[in-house]
Structure 1
């Protein structure tokens, strides 16, 4: 097994060298700089299974977002071509790290090109749910991370579309005015999308010793903290609106909060203390419990009120049916007709 692994690593190394040489030759032929999008992507996504993209390569990639929209689009296309053509789990995982880096650190132009690729969008944006690299045990392990990481990034992009901004690029205490201006329906929609991110984090495969996976975990952990901060701002706003929520909105809120509570173990992995000093500390799970209790009281009262209203309504309809003689059934028999008249009187 060790000899087979060494051969695979050697083949991967040779393939990387050949790809970089080919891209360099094409760059010179086309009178482009040696930092063409194809070349930059290849250098950052080698076949080496234990080496994540280094900061120098990531900085080069991000620099394509500081010029024209065409240049940014070329980079995104090169990245997506590399991601969808490879059958190597290490290469795919590194491509996804770059996608994540663009989401969290890229310029607006670069993020915009990523968000509209492909034009159809959709929830299965990266289309890696069936990715398999069967070259060995480590590749099977990395393949599980490729599939999960792609799902998480899809959820992150979906949530960013709902919020109107890329999740990791915003501080929640600066968004209070925006959150306060949302309708109850839109606010619930945002909370649900954010909870979806937390739920997806909870589905992550088991973490091993691989350094590329370690980099994925670090990036996702940062998003976990940012997601909690955004949820906290919105849940606090919902607490202020409890008296204004309809019965249906109250039920929907409780359902979303229960989903959040079910992620308790994962939530505890991310500390909010350092991140929320400027915005004020508050225990998110404690806030969830408080709202659930308050909504429970309100919904019970509403439920009793609805039940009472229904009984009164049924009583009114019954009285209406009895009192109104024009709605009475006409019988030919005088005996039954007399009975009807006695009920009316």
Structure 2
């Protein structure tokens, strides 16, 4: 049987599974109302992305109680982590992504704490394989990439304290800049590192040669493109803030910042190939290169100064140039901030 014949048979089987699942949910009196919407949004059809009305039905549960939102998220995660079907898994991840971007705070909050520990392989899909056909094998690579991307998106949002690009968490630019201004250098570096890592994940988006899933994959790419715009705006605000702090960065902080900027610069070509929109703009890259150049120059000066200081220390450590200090001679300091401490007289301590 050829590839098209195998795919057609899988499509028929998938549709039968969808109808059977939806019928069971409709006839079961104990079935929750959200189950039907979830099944309709995450069908086995590889060519059809989740319909907007089904996504809207799932998102509407975020306007109810926290307990209801918890059950919806738990059901979504159960379907994601128990399915072996690549299109179903990809649609589950799309639904999760829509909750991040469009969901209410209650729905997002339940998503962010499931499981409470979070961490690496949060969605447990790093080993996902659907080997029924070359098509499902290829879509499996999208599932693995998308799961890793969503995991890191959630992780970066936790670090920043809000869901990046979320309609319920969009802050005015002035407020974002005000918040960033109050951060410590270490916290600002941590945020920038997480954002750059998210950009690097976007650059690892797989390619696809199968037209059967073109619409579904376009939806994934479209959401990633919207994220890309929001993430780059957050990066730009933090690089601008670092430009104001160059003179107060320690040597270690300067090195870490240069490393992040080099990682970001390495994504420039790939970003332009993946996303058609000119984001970031040329002015962004000019800002990034300006800060990187200034940092590199500052780093070289600090390194040279450190080498000279080490050299002077080595010279002074030689025994030939040292002089014994008498006990009654006052100690002199190189800085004028601290006065010399007097040596206590032994007359006050006759038994010392």
Q: TM class by shorter-chain length? A: 0.7 to 0.9
SS of corresponding position for 2:128? coil
CA-CA distance at 1:5 after TM superposition: 2.1
Q: Which residue of 1 aligns with 2:342?
A: none
Q: Does residue 233 of structure 1 match 2:237?
A: yes
Q: Which residue of 2 aligns with 1:216?
A: 220
Q: Distance in 1 between matches of 2:299 and 2:106?
A: 46
CA-CA distance at 1:321 after TM superposition: 6.9
Q: Does residue 272 of structure 1 match 2:279?
A: yes
Q: Does residue 90 of structure 1 match 2:87?
A: yes
| Bigger shift: residues 164-173 or 227-236 | 164-173
Q: Distance in 2 between matches of 1:198 and 1:272?
A: 12
Alignment of 1:174-213 (within 5 A): 174-208=175-209, 209=211, 210-213=214-217
Contact 1:225–1:271 under 8 Å retained in 2: no
Q: Which residue of 2 aligns with 1:12?
A: 14
Contact 2:25–2:31 under 8 Å retained in 1: no
CA-CA distance at 1:74 after TM superposition: 0.7
Q: Which residue of 2 aligns with 1:22?
A: 24
Q: Distance in 2 between matches of 1:76 and 1:246?
A: 44
Q: Distance in 2 between matches of 1:272 and 1:175?
A: 19
SS of corresponding position for 2:317? helix
User: Given the alignment, which residue of 252, 255, 263 partners 1:248?
Assistant: 252
Contact 2:138–2:208 under 8 Å retained in 1: no
Structure 2: gaps of 5 or more residues: 327-352
Q: Distance in 2 between matches of 1:102 and 1:260?
A: 28
Contact 1:123–1:158 under 8 Å retained in 2: no
CA distance 1:212–1:320, change in 2 (3 Å): farther
Q: Does residue 149 of structure 1 match 2:149?
A: no
CA-CA distance at 1:120 after TM superposition: 2.3
User: Given the alignment, which residue of 67, 70, 74 partners 2:71?
Assistant: 74
Alignment of 1:104-183 (within 5 A): 104-169=101-166, 170-171=170-171, 173=173, 174-183=175-184
Q: Does residue 313 of structure 1 match 2:313?
A: yes
CA distance 1:258–1:31, change in 2 (3 Å): closer
Greater per-residue helix proportion: 1
Deviations 1:251-310 (A, max 9, x none): 11000100000001133334237xxxxxxx772221111111111221121112111211
Contact 1:83–1:91 under 8 Å retained in 2: yes
Contact 1:229–1:272 under 8 Å retained in 2: no
TM-score normalized by the length of structure 1: 0.87
Q: Distance in 2 between matches of 1:46 and 1:219?
A: 19
Contact 1:148–1:204 under 8 Å retained in 2: yes
Q: Distance in 1 between matches of 2:137 and 2:8?
A: 17
Structure 1: gaps of 5 or more residues: 274-280, 327-345
Q: Distance in 2 between matches of 1:16 and 1:291?
A: 54
Q: Which residue of 1 aligns with 2:334?
A: none
Q: Distance in 2 between matches of 1:217 and 1:31?
A: 33
Paired positions, count: 314
